[in-house]
Structure 1
Amino acid sequence: MSKAVLRFAFSPVQSFIAEARRTSDLFAGSRILAELASAAAQSIRASGGELVFPASLDGNRHDMPNVIVAVVPWEQVERIAEEAESALRGRWDELAEEAKRTLSRLGPVDRHWDETWHRQVEHLWEVYWAAARLDGSYREAFRRAAAAVASAKRLRPFAQVEEPGIKDSLSGSRSALCTERLGANEYWQQVRHAQRGVGVLGKHERLDAVGSVKRFSGLGREESFPSLPTIAARPFLQHAETQASQALEAYARALAELFQACQVDPRRMRRRASERFPYDGGFLFPNRLERLALAEELDVTEDRIPEPERAAALRALQSLYREARWPSGPSPYVAVLVLDGDSMGARIDALLEGTDPPEAHREFSEKLATFAAKVRELEKDFPRVEVVYNGGDDVLALAPAQDALGFARRAAHAFHEETGGSASAGTAVAHWLQPLGDALKAARRAEGMAKQVTGKGAVCIELQRRSGEVTTVRAKWTHLEHLDIASLVELFQVNRLSGRLPYALRESARAFTGTGPAFEAVVKRVVARQGNWPDGSAPERETLVTRLTSFASALDGAGLAGAEELVGWLVVARFLAAGGEE
């Protein structure tokens, strides 16, 4: 019996994940994609297919790629592919039905609601597959199958599905669920006020069927995922647990008393933060205790918030800051990080030139699976980082701003260790109040800029201040060895370097297009003026100058504007040292 190479893919992927206003949407979207891919891969294997990518299904099912490659019997290709598609759609239907049952207990359902639900659920997923007969050359069969799937994606017909009325809050393009009697705003207000809806919906949120699956299926339970402010506050919370534990517990008690005074059961407000602080990390920021924000968070009217208990909670929070010796409180900035293997198509193509292409491809798939496992292991070294998606060579994570670069660098190193290739990363650092979807787009944009660096193996950070100012920096991983940004952050933190340094260097180096001796002289002069250098520290100062100029020169050699990039990286280091303070 002759065989064939089957390539099976589905979409949307990135846009499906990006339709998110909360971290729970992001995590649920990732889990749903993994569930669908796993269902399809299991079906292919059960039908006699030999999986090549992924090489096996024995790893973490949350780390499944959304493209599947298998060797299957040629005569059974169509049946195997159709059964895989059926398995994928069947798993989606199960998740959708679970969400629908939950929603039907929270609000009314009628014919109009049901028609909208089925239209949106049934028209979401596009499945693409192609097979090429394996007539001796696995490489050629793989290429033909890949080209056929790519062509099918380009030529797919776009069904014009009408989505009338008020749009949902996640995609902004699909109709929000409603009934004939209740408009979208009224319907979702009723759902929000239902007992199990509290905390799942924001005051002005409206969902369509797709967003409802993310929020109300078993994969999207809110309490399972840390919020953006919780992630941003983790460095402060970790410090407070050891250095100001009594003040932290006192603040938690003050919050519980505030909730009770607002006639809200404190147990309903519990989230995954820490043992000593069982509430959402947003309550570690004073703006969450403002009357309007507090009313929306508790889903009560402002007149139900008693001022004495609110003022007492604010005083307890300020006392916590003092006891922790962290006068400004936690940094409100969080990082969205994406990392992706470089030139993967070319790498796989080169692998298939060998004497045993199928085995080489399978071995490479196993290396990618090992890399995914190493990323999960990295979470032990970076416990404040949350990995959202980890499929094949693609990683999406959320982190406190100060942890993102170190995690990305270690992940890129693990990728190189396992595959021999390079990986590039894009990171958006933004205030936790910024829409999550915008931060995701910024991270993808930064990833694209990193991929433009010659030879890749690069990182790009887009720093978005709340004021609207944006700083974008790039470098290769090897360049950062010269810079040692962690030590720069420390120098800014202990005031060995003035916060004026980046801006003074920008002014002095404005006229330089290169990084030769004249530029080095400027760096030496600015560092001397903008640093706190006690007697006897001249060698330390000279070492720093050498690090900075070597970094800028290396960037020049890679086709980047070394002087400009150096200033940008110093701005980033100062920002991280100040926790976002201006």
Structure 2
Amino acid sequence: MSEAVLRFTFSPVQSFIAEARRTSDLFVGSRILAELAAAAAQSIHASGGQLVFPASLDGARHDMPNVIVAVVPWEQAEGIAQNAETALRRRWQELADEARLELAKRVPVDELWEETWRRQTAHLWEIYWAVARLDGSYGETFRRAGQGLAAIKRLRPFDQVEEPGIKDSLSGSRSALRTRSLDAREYWKRARQTQRGIGVIGKHERLDAVGAVKRFARLARAETFPSVPTIAARPFLSHAEERARQALVAYAQALRELFRAAGVDPESMRRSTSPSFPYDGGFLFQNRLEREALAEELGLEELPEQVEPHRVAAVEALRKLYRASGWPGGPSPYLAVVVLDGDSMGKRINELLTGQDSPEAHRAFSQRLAEFAGAVRALEREFKQVEVVYNGGDDVLALAPAQLALDFARLAAERFQEITKGTASAGIAVAHWLQPLGDALKAARQAEERAKQVKDKAAVCLELRRRSGEITSVRAKWEQLKVLDVGSLIDLFRTDRLSGRLPYALRESTRAFAGAGPDFRAEIKRVVTRQGEWPEGSERERDGLIERLTGFAQALQDTGLGGVEELVGWLVVARFLAKGGEE
């Protein structure tokens, strides 16, 4: 029996994940994609297909890539592909039905609501597949199937669907669910009123059917996901548990009394298993205790007046916690979105199949990618404050406290190189937790694209997005960052051994230098000596820093990355991370 190569994929992927206002939207969005891919892959396997990518179905289900390659019987290829498409759509319908039933329990629905739900869920997924008959060369057949897939994507018509009325809060482009008697605002207000404690619908949120699946499907309800402020506050919470446990416990008690006074069961507000502080990390930021914000956190339209003394007491307990922990400004409100992707993967696979022309060689490479996915999960356990959202094939999406993001991305890139013998590049967006999460994810994707523009790649681009709107964007190759040692710079700025004026003084004094030669080194020495605290016996440390800064600027210049200005940018980033976002 002759065989064929099947290439199967579906979309949207990145835009589906990016439609997010909460971390749960990101997590559930990525889980849904993995569920759909797993349904298709299982169908192909059950129909007699030999999976090539992914190499097997043995890995973690939520790390399933959205591209599937398999060797299938030629005579059955079309039926196998159609069955896989049916399996994917069936799984999506199951998830949508779960959410629909859960939401319909809260507020009665009508034919307008049902019509909107069907329109938005029925045609969301574009599914593409192509097969090529395997006549001798596997590599050539794989490429022909890829060409067929690309042609199908180009020819697929785009249906413009009219979405009238108020738009949803996640995509901003689809109609928010409503009924004939309740407009979108009133419908979602009624839905909010059915929840107590921490709810899944924010005060100003209105969802369409796709967003509702992310919030109400069983996947969303079966697991608790850490919020954006919880991730941002993790370094502070860890420090407070070690240095100020008594004050932390006292603040948690003040919150319990506040919840009771507001008529909210403290147990319904639990978000972690921490015995010292079992609540959402948002409560570690003082602005969450302001009246309007607090009412929203508690799922109330407004805060009862009798709650005010308890609110004031909680604010004072939080301030005492800040002082007791030695962090008078509280936790850093900045977190990072990290995206990492293998470099030139299509080219690598083509080169691999030119040398070893067999599905076995391709499957072995797929297995190495699965090993990398396992290594990323191990790295997540090592970086306990980092949350990996998506981890399929050579793609990684993670959320991290701002000061941990660069180290996590660097080590993930190192693991990728160790396991696959290739390189990976990363984009990191550091943003205030009150900024839209979807915007931060988009910025991280754009930063990744800039990293991919570096010659020979193996690079990172970090974009620092202050809440004021000012943006600092820096790039470097991973090897160059080893020379700079950002971690030691952060320590020097954190302990005020280096003045916060250093980056700006260096920019001003080196503006006229064309390159990183001897005169440039002398100027760096002058500025570092003047803008640092160097007690007796620290000359060696100071001179080492001077050499690192000079060498980093030279390395940047050699790869066309701007030299001096890029160095200044990295110093600005190091200072920002050291001070937790304080200016």
Q: Would you say 1:536 and 2:537 are equivalent positions?
A: yes
Cα distance, 1:519 vs structure 2: 1.2
Instruction: Return the alpha-carbon distance in structure 2 between the equivalents of residues 237 and 50 of structure 1.
Output: 48
Instruction: Return the alpha-carbon distance in structure 1 between the equivalents of residues 512 and 406 of structure 2.
Output: 30
Residue of structure 2 in register with 1:94 after alignment: 94
Q: Does the CA-based 8 Å contact 1:215-1:222 persist in structure 2?
A: no
Secondary structure class of the residue paired with 1:430: strand
Residue of structure 2 in register with 1:480 after alignment: 481
Distance 1:525 1:186, change over 3 A: same
Cα distance, 1:299 vs structure 2: 2.5
Residue of structure 1 in register with 2:552 after alignment: 551
Q: Would you say 1:105 and 2:105 are equivalent positions?
A: yes
Distance 1:41 1:578, change over 3 A: same
RMSD: 1.2
Distance 1:355 1:579, change over 3 A: closer
**Given residue 309 of structure 1, which amino acid in structure 2 is its aligned partner?**
H
Q: Would you say 1:32 and 2:20 are equivalent positions?
A: no
Matches within 5 A, 1:260-299: 260-272=260-272, 274-299=274-299
Residue of structure 1 in register with 2:419 after alignment: 418
Q: Does the CA-based 8 Å contact 1:223-1:271 persist in structure 2?
A: no
Instruction: Return the alpha-carbon distance in structure 2 between the equivalents of residues 355 and 433 of structure 1.
Output: 50
**Given residue 118 of structure 1, which amino acid in structure 2 is its aligned partner?**
R
Cα distance, 1:537 vs structure 2: 1.9
Cα distance, 1:266 vs structure 2: 1.4
Instruction: Return the alpha-carbon distance in structure 1 between the equivalents of residues 442 and 139 of structure 2.
Output: 35
Residue of structure 2 in register with 1:164 after alignment: 164
Unmatched runs of 5 consecutive residues or more in structure 2: none
Residue of structure 2 in register with 1:218 after alignment: 218
**Given residue 47 of structure 1, which amino acid in structure 2 is its aligned partner?**
S
Alignment length, in residue pairs? Answer: 582
Residue of structure 2 in register with 1:327 after alignment: 328
Instruction: Return the alpha-carbon distance in structure 2 between the equivalents of residues 363 and 175 of structure 1.
Output: 46
Distance 1:331 1:269, change over 3 A: same
Residue of structure 1 in register with 2:355 after alignment: 354
Q: Does the CA-based 8 Å contact 2:461-2:476 persist in structure 1?
A: yes
Cα distance, 1:552 vs structure 2: 0.7
Cα distance, 1:222 vs structure 2: 8.7
Residue of structure 1 in register with 2:173 after alignment: 173
Q: Would you say 1:233 and 2:233 are equivalent positions?
A: yes
Residue of structure 1 in register with 2:398 after alignment: 397
Residue of structure 1 in register with 2:346 after alignment: 345
**Given residue 35 of structure 1, which amino acid in structure 2 is its aligned partner?**
E
Cα distance, 1:301 vs structure 2: 4.0
Secondary structure class of the residue paired with 2:105: helix
Distance 1:197 1:92, change over 3 A: farther
Instruction: Return the alpha-carbon distance in structure 2 between the equivalents of residues 111 and 179 of structure 1.
Output: 8
Q: Does the CA-based 8 Å contact 1:225-1:272 persist in structure 2?
A: no
Farther-moved stretch of structure 1 (543-552 vs 299-308):
299-308
Alignment deviations for residues 413-444 of structure 1 (CA, whole Å, 9 cap, x no partner): 00000110000000000000000011011000
Secondary structure class of the residue paired with 2:20: coil
Distance 1:302 1:196, change over 3 A: closer
Unmatched runs of 5 consecutive residues or more in structure 1: none
Alignment deviations for residues 296-352 of structure 1 (CA, whole Å, 9 cap, x no partner): 211224451522111100010011111111111100000000000000000000000
Distance 1:182 1:222, change over 3 A: farther
Residue of structure 1 in register with 2:247 after alignment: 247
Residue of structure 1 in register with 2:184 after alignment: 184
Cα distance, 1:166 vs structure 2: 0.8
**Given residue 239 of structure 1, which amino acid in structure 2 is its aligned partner?**
H
Instruction: Return the alpha-carbon distance in structure 2 between the equivalents of residues 40 and 368 of structure 1.
Output: 19
Instruction: Return the alpha-carbon distance in structure 1 between the equivalents of residues 580 and 566 of structure 2.
Output: 21
Secondary structure class of the residue paired with 1:106: coil
Alignment deviations for residues 70-97 of structure 1 (CA, whole Å, 9 cap, x no partner): 0000000110000000000010011001
Instruction: Return the alpha-carbon distance in structure 2 between the equivalents of residues 238 and 509 of structure 1.
Output: 40
Instruction: Return the alpha-carbon distance in structure 2 between the equivalents of residues 20 and 224 of structure 1.
Output: 16
Instruction: Return the alpha-carbon distance in structure 1 between the equivalents of residues 232 and 289 of structure 2.
Output: 17
Q: Does the CA-based 8 Å contact 2:292-2:303 persist in structure 1?
A: no
**Given residue 580 of structure 2, which amino acid in structure 1 is its aligned partner?**
G
Alignment deviations for residues 488-521 of structure 1 (CA, whole Å, 9 cap, x no partner): 1001111111111111101111122311112111
Distance 1:277 1:223, change over 3 A: farther
Secondary structure class of the residue paired with 1:213: helix
Alignment deviations for residues 344-376 of structure 1 (CA, whole Å, 9 cap, x no partner): 000000000124421111110000000000000
**Given residue 288 of structure 1, which amino acid in structure 2 is its aligned partner?**
R
Q: Would you say 1:134 and 2:163 are equivalent positions?
A: no
Q: Does the CA-based 8 Å contact 1:458-1:477 persist in structure 2?
A: yes
Runs of 4+ in 1 over 4 A off after TM superposition: none
Q: Percent identity?
A: 71
Distance 1:566 1:226, change over 3 A: same
**Given residue 394 of structure 2, which amino acid in structure 1 is its aligned partner?**
D
Residue of structure 1 in register with 2:66 after alignment: 66
Alignment deviations for residues 521-572 of structure 1 (CA, whole Å, 9 cap, x no partner): 1111100100001123222211110011001111111111111111011001
Farther-moved stretch of structure 1 (217-226 vs 400-409):
217-226
Q: Does the CA-based 8 Å contact 1:273-1:280 persist in structure 2?
A: no
Secondary structure class of the residue paired with 2:28: helix
Return the TM-score normalized by structure 1: 0.99
Secondary structure class of the residue paired with 1:107: coil
Cα distance, 1:223 vs structure 2: 6.1
Distance 1:196 1:349, change over 3 A: farther
Alignment deviations for residues 53-109 of structure 1 (CA, whole Å, 9 cap, x no partner): 000010101111000000000000110000000000010011001001100111111
Instruction: Return the alpha-carbon distance in structure 1 between the equivalents of residues 196 and 39 of structure 2.
Output: 30
Instruction: Return the alpha-carbon distance in structure 1 between the equivalents of residues 278 and 378 of structure 2.
Output: 26
Instruction: Return the alpha-carbon distance in structure 1 between the equivalents of residues 195 and 420 of structure 2.
Output: 50
Q: Does the CA-based 8 Å contact 1:449-1:460 persist in structure 2?
A: yes
Instruction: Return the alpha-carbon distance in structure 2 between the equivalents of residues 350 and 303 of structure 1.
Output: 64
**Given residue 67 of structure 2, which amino acid in structure 1 is its aligned partner?**
V
Q: Does the CA-based 8 Å contact 1:106-1:196 persist in structure 2?
A: no
Secondary structure class of the residue paired with 2:161: coil
Secondary structure class of the residue paired with 1:512: coil
Instruction: Return the alpha-carbon distance in structure 1 between the equivalents of residues 292 and 197 of structure 2.
Output: 20
Residue of structure 1 in register with 2:565 after alignment: 564
Cα distance, 1:291 vs structure 2: 1.0
Cα distance, 1:196 vs structure 2: 6.5
**Given residue 113 of structure 1, which amino acid in structure 2 is its aligned partner?**
W
Q: Would you say 1:117 and 2:126 are equivalent positions?
A: no
Secondary structure class of the residue paired with 2:355: coil
**Given residue 12 of structure 2, which amino acid in structure 1 is its aligned partner?**
P
Instruction: Return the alpha-carbon distance in structure 2 between the equivalents of residues 158 and 56 of structure 1.
Output: 33
Instruction: Return the alpha-carbon distance in structure 2 between the equivalents of residues 63 and 22 of structure 1.
Output: 20
